[in-house]
Structures are given as C-alpha cells and as structure tokens.
Chain A
Amino acid sequence: MTDTQYDRAPGDASALPDVEQGTSSGVLVYTIGLALAVVLTAMSFWVANTSLLWAGGVSLGLTVLAIAQMGVHLVFFLHVTTGPDNTNNVMALAFGVLIVVLVVVGSLLIMADLNDNMMPAAELMNLQMQH
C-alpha cells in the first residue's frame, strides 16, 4: 500500500509529512539542477559558435539541448516526477506541451506552405519584405 493519499502540489518536493526531508538534500537537488543547466547552456552557446559541426545540424542540436534543459528545469527545479502523486501535474503538462507543439508546428507549416504556394516570384512579391 502506498502512502500517497493525495496528489502532490506542483513544485513541492515531498508530499510525505513523515519522511523528514533534510534541507541539505534539497540544496543538493537544486545544485545538481543548476550544474546540469549551466553545462547545457554552455554547450548551446558553444554549438552555436563552433565551426567544428556540420552547419545544417546546428539548429537541430540547439533544439535538442533546449529540450534537455527544459527537462532539467522540470525535474530539478519544479520537482515533476513520474510518481503516482504527480499524475495530475504530468497530465496537465502533457496537454500543455501538446497544444504548444500544435500551435508552433502548425503555424510554421502553414506559413511555409503559403510562402511556397502563393508567392511565385519570391523576391519580388514576398509581402513580408514590404514595409
């Protein structure tokens, strides 16, 4: 029998009152998160500026690093876990991510498609280039 009677509030590290969460372990969690975020940020800046990598893959690499850093923030700063007391928070987050992906990917696809299909002479007729 698990001890989880209620869900956990988002951002709360522990919902179990009888488990004494020492402050030092809390500091450790945040410090690990900070270290990982610093490493990922430094990698992002390095990837954007280096000439060692194939230029076509840099955008993809930056996107992957941003997703990784978002994960670090969610786990170490916002304390989102896969535990049963966190199901509601994760479900809400998943729905939010779904809408975000639909909005961004959908808008970009439609705008790229419009640009391709409706502007035969792209240089002359691109409405975005006009004032």
Chain B
Amino acid sequence: MSIAVAVDDEVRYEARPSASEAGPAPKRIVVGFGFWVFLLSDIVMFAAIFAAYAALAHATAGGPSGGQLFNQRSVAIETGCLLASSYTCGLMSLAIGSRRFAATYLAALVTFVLGACFLVLELREFAGMIAIGAGPQRSAFLSAFFTLVGCHGLHVTAGLVWLVVMMAQVAIKGFRAAVERRLLCFSLFWHALDIVWVWLFTVVYLMGVLS
C-alpha cells in the first residue's frame, strides 16, 4: 500500500473497488442471503419445537413411549431417502449451472421421488401409530412428537410442491435469471431440511429408543 501513495490515482483506478464502492450487490446474492436469513429463522422455530419435545419426551401419561413405538428400520430408510434426495438436489444445481435441461429434469425427478418416498414412509408411520391409539391426543409426549415430526413433514411437502412448480417454470421460461434464483433458494431449502432431519432422527428416534 506504500506504493499506492506515490501513484495514488493510477492504483485507485486499477484496483478493484471494494463492495461498498461497487454499488449494490447482484440480485442473486441479495436474494440468496435473504433466503438464508429466512431459513435460519425457520430453524429457530424448529429449535423451539425441539425444546418443547425434549421437555415433554418423558411425559407419556401412562401411554406408549418412544421405545415402544419407533421402528428403527423405517427411520433408517427415511434417512437414506432424504440424504440421497439432498445429493441429487446438489447434482440438479450443477446441471442448472451448466444449463443442461435433460440432466436438470432427471435430477429433479429423482429428488422428487426420493422426497415422496420419505413422505409416504412417514405418513405410514403416523397412520400406524394413530391406529393403535397413539395419536397426538394420547399424551404430551405424542403431541410434541406429532408437532415436531409433522412440521418437518409439512416442510418436505411444501418443498415437493415447490420443486414441481420450479420444473414447470424451467420448462416454460427456460434458465432465465429469476428462475435460477428461485432454484438456488429451493436447493438451500432442501439442504436445510436435511440438516433439520439429522437432528430429528438423532434426538427423537435414536435417543428415544435409548430411554
């Protein structure tokens, strides 16, 4: 920087402007960061539900406990589905980056199918629990369980609808900037849901089977 004093004007002209001098950031960065903040607030909401679940985890009111209800094999398959769909979602981002339509549709299809498998397994688990009288009204533990896992399931459902809408937009509008920004937000959303699920299967299912 000592050289900059000598030929100040020239250096300042050649040097890249800092972010504040360069004017507003590109819209992709603004949109991505805004969605990132939304996701963090969504995770804070999940944290509140997690805290409620952890406080109520032993309040079974004489009803069935987690160890009696949870089927670890089904949870393992659900985890595998969600993890694989997160991976194919990443491959979809790469296909979008290199603007390959066929690869994008294929990755989106696999992502959708894996997400749908996860949802079907989860709904079957819920239906099985309600069928044996372990519905959300049975105990505080089950109310908290259905709130927490159901909230994540609702997020996955919303993600699947969003994915279908995005593929329709890619088909009709092509890879224009606005569509690419929405696809970036979708992939952030999908990866964040997987992070929530990591905590969910650890805290609810695995720790629930321990006690």
Contacts and interface: CB of A to CB of B under 8 A. Distances in A.
Contact of B195 (A21, A23, A73): A73
A6 B22 contact: yes
B46 to A, nearest CB: 8
Contact of B37 (A3, A30, A38, A92): A92
What is the interface residue range for chain A against chain B?
A: 35 or more
Interface in A54-105: 55, 58-59, 62-63, 65-66, 69-70, 73-74, 77-78, 88-89, 92-93, 95-96, 99-100, 103-104
Contact of A104 (B54, B80, B84, B202): B54
B210 A48 contact: yes
A38 to B, nearest CB: 7
A108 interface: yes
A117 interface: no
24 contacts: A1-B16, A3-B16, A5-B22, A6-B25, A7-B29, A8-B29, A9-B184, A10-B35, A12-B32, A30-B87, A30-B90, A34-B84, A41-B79, A41-B83, A41-B198, A44-B201, A44-B206, A45-B76, A77-B191, A77-B194, A92-B37, A93-B40, A96-B43, A108-B54
A119 interface: no
Contacts of A7: 19, 25, 29, 33
Contact of B59 (A69, A89, A99, A128): A128
A103 B40 contact: no
B91 interface: yes
B8 to A, nearest CB: 16
B44 A27 contact: no
A100 B44 CA distance: 5
Nearest to A101: B47
A6 B26 contact: yes
B150 interface: no
Contact of B202 (A6, A62, A99, A103): A62
Interface of B: 15-19, 22, 25-26, 28-29, 31-33, 35-37, 40-41, 43-44, 47-48, 50-52, 54-56, 58-59, 61-62, 72, 76, 79-80, 83-84, 86-87, 90-91, 93-94, 97-98, 140, 184, 187-188, 191-192, 194-195, 198-199, 201-203, 206-207, 209-210
B44 A103 contact: yes
A21 B61 CA distance: 57
Contacts of B15: 1
Given A49-B72, A104-B54, A128-B61, 18 more contacts: A5-B22, A7-B19, A7-B29, A9-B184, A11-B32, A11-B188, A23-B94, A27-B91, A30-B94, A45-B206, A66-B198, A89-B33, A96-B40, A103-B47, A107-B48, A107-B54, A108-B55, A130-B61
Contact of A5 (B17, B44, B94, B201): B17
A103 to B, nearest CB: 5
A104 to B, nearest CB: 5
